[in-house]
Amino acid sequence: ISDNAYEVDLPKTNKKDRVINVRWLRRSLQADKQFSKVPPRMIAEARSRLTEIIGIAGIDETNDTLDIPEDLQRTLWDNAKAIDKDNKLRDEVSKAAG
């Protein structure tokens, strides 16, 4: 946006302003073992993406079939594995799904 302000890509569920002034930032030194490489998923974000994932997969509830394009299969499996790792998230998503 300007020399001292940047727009940050935040999740849909975040209610804070997306523009951050650089004076509020500080250098971060991370040890590989101390911090996770992949940020944790928020339960609210998973719920909001649930219908999006179902739409991409092409779930036909009437005929109980799936039509998943080959290029999306790996991405969907990776997302499913990430969701499965967090027990709380798995429980919340299954409750939301029905």
Q: Is 52 a residue whose pLDDT tops 80?
A: no
Question: What mean pLDDT do residues 41-67 have?
Answer: 67
Q: Is 16 a residue whose pLDDT tops 80?
A: no
Q: Is 54 a residue whose pLDDT tops 60?
A: no
70 sits in the region (left: phi over 0; alpha: psi -120 to 50; else beta) called alpha
Mean pLDDT across the chain, nearest whole number? Answer: 69
Percent of the chain with pLDDT over 70: 47
Quote the pLDDT of residue 46.
72
The dihedral formed by the CA atoms of 45, 51, 55 and 59, expressed in degrees to the nearest 10: 130
Residue 48 half-sphere exposure, CB side, CA atoms within 13 Å? 9
Handedness of CA 18, 9, 33, 89 (dihedral sign): positive
At 27, is the pLDDT very low, low, confident or very high (cuts 50, 70, 90)?
confident
